[in-house]
Structure 1
Amino acid sequence: MTSKSQPSSIRPYPELVKDNEPTVPQFGILDKLHGTWVNWKGGPKGLHTTPMPSPGTSSETVFGVFHFKSQQYREQLTFSKVNAPVRNRAGSNEQFNGPVKYETAIIDNNDDLQHFENGMYLWLGDNTMPWQEDGKYQNPRTMFSRPSTQETVDEDGGVPVIGPGELGPQFVPPHSISRSGVIPHGTTIHLTGNVTHFDKKETPDAPEKPEIAKLWEQPYLSISPTMGIDPERDLIPGSLKKPFWTNLPREEQRDYPGQPEAHCGVNSARAYFLNIFNYDEDGAKFPYTVQPNLLLSQFNEGLNFKSYDLIELDSQHDTGVQGATVNNVMIERYCRVVRMRHRMWLERIELENGKEIDQLQYEQIVDFEFMFGASGETTQWPHIQVNTLRRIEDIAEEDRYTPIELPEEADKPVKTPKAKVHHMNHKVK
C-alpha cells in the first residue's frame, strides 16, 4: 500500500462561462431521426400483438381468460428537431438537452385509425469519463461545471454555507437518451438508455447486419413465462413449423406427458395461449403472432448494410434512477402498464442500384398486467409492436401511400399575426 493519493479519473467538465455557452443544441445520434418515416407499397408492414381482458372478466377472474388481437398496420412517424438547447441547472453541473419532438399515427389495412401518440426524445449528452475534449458528441458541449463565484454567493445568500470557488462532485449521466410519450389510452411513459454504433469500416468485427433476436428467444415472445410458456417444450427449437399440439382442441391439451388430470385439457397452460398460435386475421398469423420481430430479421435478409446504430431504452433498470409508466385510474386498476422496452435500429443500407438510403426499424414491448396467475402471482401479457420504415423522400412517388391525417376538429378561421421564431435565452449570469 501507499500513502500517496491517486488522481481521480472524474475531472470537472469545462466550466460554463459566457464565451462557451451553447447557442445551438447537440442532438447526438438523434440528429439522424429528423424527418418523416413511412411504410411503402411493396415493402413490409408493421405488426402488433395485443392481449386484453375478455368481456365480462374482472381482476378476480382466474387467469387465462383474455382477448387476443393482432394485425398489420402502416405508420407515419415524424421527428422534428427543436433548434434550441434546453438548460438544466444542478448547482455544480449544468446540462444542455437536445430536444426532438415525435408524433406517430397508425392505421390498419382498412384505413381505420388504430393508434396515435406524441412525445419527445432528448439527447442528454456524452456520458463518458474521463472527460474527452474530442468526444464524438461534444461539439457543442452538453455538460458543464459551475463553481460558485463571489457574485453567486452574494446574490444567492451563500454565507455561511458556501464561499466563492467551491465545486461539488461532477454528475456523469448514466444515460445519453431519454424518451417521454403520451398514449391516449391513459398512459404516460418515460424511458432512458443509450446507443451503440456499428460500422464495417470502424468495427470490422461487428455483425454484418443488426442482430434482432434468436428464434424463440423468450424476452421477445408475445407469451410470457407467467402465462405458462416454455419455449423448449412448447415450440420446435430451430424450426418455424407450428407444433403438433396447436392442432388439438382445448379439451385435449396437455403440457407434458404424465401431467395430473387436474392440469390438463382446458386447465392446461397450452389451452390458454392456443389462440395466439392459431390466430389468422388482418395479415397476422403464426409465427409472427408469437415472435413479431421475425418480420424485421427476415426482411433484412439480402440487404446490404453499410452501418447501423442501436438505441435501447427501458422504463426499468437494474440499478439507479428508473424511468416510469404512469397510468390513469382505469388502466391502473384493470390492465396496468408496468414496463416498456424500446429498441430502434437506424440503418444505412445500399440498394441494388448502388444508392444509399436510411432505414428505421423498431421493436417495442409493453408489459400489461391483469388478472391473477394460478400461483397467485400477477399474469404478465406482452403487447408488442414492430415496424420497418424509410424516409418518405427515399420512396418513389408511385410507391407512397396516402398521408395519414388525424381526425382533428377544424378551428374556426381566426385572423392571427404572422408567427415569429423565438429563441431560448438561458444566458450565464
Structure 2
Amino acid sequence: MRTASEQLDALRGQVREVAPAVTGDEDLGPFKLLPGVWTNEPDLAGRGWNMIALPFGPPQGATFRPAYRLLLHQYNEKLTFSLVDKAVPNRGIAPANGGVTPHADQLLVALDYEQGINQLVGEDFPASGLQGDPGGAIHHEPGLFLNMSDPLNEDVVDIARLATVPHGDSVLGLGTASISDGPPSIPPINALPLGVNQDIEKNPYLAPYKHFHDNLFRGLFDPLDSTALLKAANEGVDIVRTTKLEFDSTVATGGISNIPFIVRQANASEMKSTFWIQEVRREDGTIGLRLQYVQVVQLDFFDRFDGGPGRIKWPHVSINTLAKVEDAPVPSPAGYSVMPS
C-alpha cells in the first residue's frame, strides 16, 4: 500500500473523474481488490447469518412476555463495487509560515457499493409470525468506501464507510486498514444485551437467547459465539494474505443519524464492522478472492436493569463469507451515467 504522501502525490496529477472501478487500481489503496461482484452463490450459499432483538408485544395469554423477540436469519448476499470517484478535493490550508498560508487540500478516492440481502430462513422467539418468507428481501444498502489521505498528518483514521439504510439510518464509520500474511484472526463477539445480567441460565429475561443457545439456529448458529461460523469457514482454506478494514462509528467524527421513529423505538447508536479481504490459493495454484465480515450495530431500547445511563444496548450482529464471482466493472446500480472528467 502507498503511504499517505505517495497517495497524495499520485492524485495531485489527476483530474477528478467518475469511472468504472478496476481491480488492482493502486489509487484505491486497501480497496483495490474489491471492484466487481461478491456473492454467496454458488459455492458459499447460506454463509450469511444475522441476529437482531426487536421490541415486541406478545399475544394475549403468552407465557413469556419480555416485550422483545430475538430474530435470526440465514441469508444469501450480493455485494457490488462498481464505480470509483477519484481525486475528490476537500479544500484546506496549512498553518501560516513566513506570512504565507499554503494550500493543504485533501484528495479522496471513493468506491461505491450496493449490498442486497435475501433471507433463506428466518426464525424468532417468542414466535411472532413476522419472521419473513424464504427468498424475501431483508436488507438493501448503497454506500461508499473512502480512501483518505491527510496532507497535514492530523487524522488517526485513513478509511471511511458511508452507509444509507432504508429503515432511516445514515452511518459514518471511520477506521484504518492493514495487510498481513496468512489468515485473519477473528475475535469473539459478545452478542448479549448490555445493561442486564448476562447470565442466561439464571436471568429469565434472556430466555430468547437461551432458547437459541440450547437449540442452535439451523443447528449451527449460537448467539453466544456469533463469529464461530466465520472461523469454521476458514478451516482447510489456504489464505495467503489478508487485508483488514475496520470501521467504527464511535471513532473521531463518526456517528449515526436516524429518523425520529427509530430514535424513539430502537435507536441505532453505534456501528462497528470489520472486513477481511482474503487472497486464497486454490488447488491448481491460482489465487481467488474471498471476503468475510462481522458487523455489530447497537440498538438502544428499554430502560437498563443495572442503573447505568441510557437504555439497554442490544447487539445486532451480521456475519458472512463471500467469494468474488465477477471481476469486470459493472454498470452503476443507480443507473446514472459515468461522469467524464
- Alignment check: 8 A CA contact 2:196 2:306 kept: no
User: CA offsets, 1:97-147, max 9 Å, x none?
Assistant: 00100101100112111110101111002x6xxxxxxxxxxxxxxx4xxxx
One-letter identity of the residue aligned with 1:116: H
User: CA offsets, 1:45-91, max 9 Å, x none?
Assistant: 2000011001279xxxxx94311110110001001232431000012
**2:109 corresponds to which residue?**
98
**6, 17, 23: which is aligned to 2:15?**
23
**1:181 corresponds to which residue?**
163
- Alignment check: 8 A CA contact 2:70 2:209 kept: no
Work out the CA distance in 1 between the residues paired with 2:253 and 2:338. Answer: 38
Q: 1:287 offset after TM fit, Å?
A: 4.5
Q: Does 1:422 align with 2:316?
A: no
One-letter identity of the residue aligned with 1:65: A
Q: 1:291 offset after TM fit, Å?
A: 2.4
Equivalent residues in 2 for 1:99-118, closer than 5 Å: 99-109=110-120, 110-118=134-142
Q: Which moved more, 1:34-43 or 1:361-370?
A: 34-43
Q: 1:227 offset after TM fit, Å?
A: 3.2
Work out the CA distance in 2 between the residues paired with 1:334 and 1:270. Answer: 20
Cα RMSD, aligned residues only: 3.1
User: CA offsets, 1:237-292, max 9 Å, x none?
Assistant: xxxxxxxx5xxxxxxxxx3xxxxxxxxxxx645546323424555x3x56533322
The 1:183/1:268 distance shift into structure 2, 3 A limit, reads same
Work out the CA distance in 2 between the residues paired with 1:311 and 1:382. Answer: 20
**368, 373, 379: which is aligned to 2:304?**
373
Q: Does 1:361 align with 2:292?
A: yes
**231, 248, 256: which is aligned to 1:325?**
256
**170, 182, 198: which is aligned to 1:229?**
198
- Alignment check: 8 A CA contact 2:279 2:289 kept: yes
**43, 52, 55: which is aligned to 1:53?**
55
Runs of 4+ aligned structure 1 residues displaced above 6 Å come to: none
Q: Secondary structure at the match of 1:52?
A: strand
One-letter identity of the residue aligned with 1:349: V
Highest CA radius of gyration, 1 or 2? 1
Work out the CA distance in 1 between the residues paired with 2:324 and 2:12. Answer: 35
Q: Secondary structure at the match of 2:236?
A: coil
TM-score, length of structure 2 as denominator length: 0.77
**76, 79, 98: which is aligned to 1:77?**
79
Q: How many residues align?
A: 292
User: CA offsets, 1:349-380, max 9 Å, x none?
Assistant: 11223221011101100000100122344211
One-letter identity of the residue aligned with 1:121: F
The 1:302/1:343 distance shift into structure 2, 3 A limit, reads same
Q: Secondary structure at the match of 1:333?
A: helix
| Structure richer in strand, relative to its length | 2
The 1:119/1:229 distance shift into structure 2, 3 A limit, reads same
Q: Does 1:275 align with 2:249?
A: no
Q: Secondary structure at the match of 2:256?
A: strand
**1:163 corresponds to which residue?**
none
The 1:272/1:303 distance shift into structure 2, 3 A limit, reads closer
TM-score, length of structure 1 as denominator length: 0.62
**246, 264, 289: which is aligned to 2:223?**
289
Work out the CA distance in 2 between the residues paired with 1:68 and 1:194. Answer: 32
Work out the CA distance in 2 between the residues paired with 1:20 and 1:222. Answer: 45
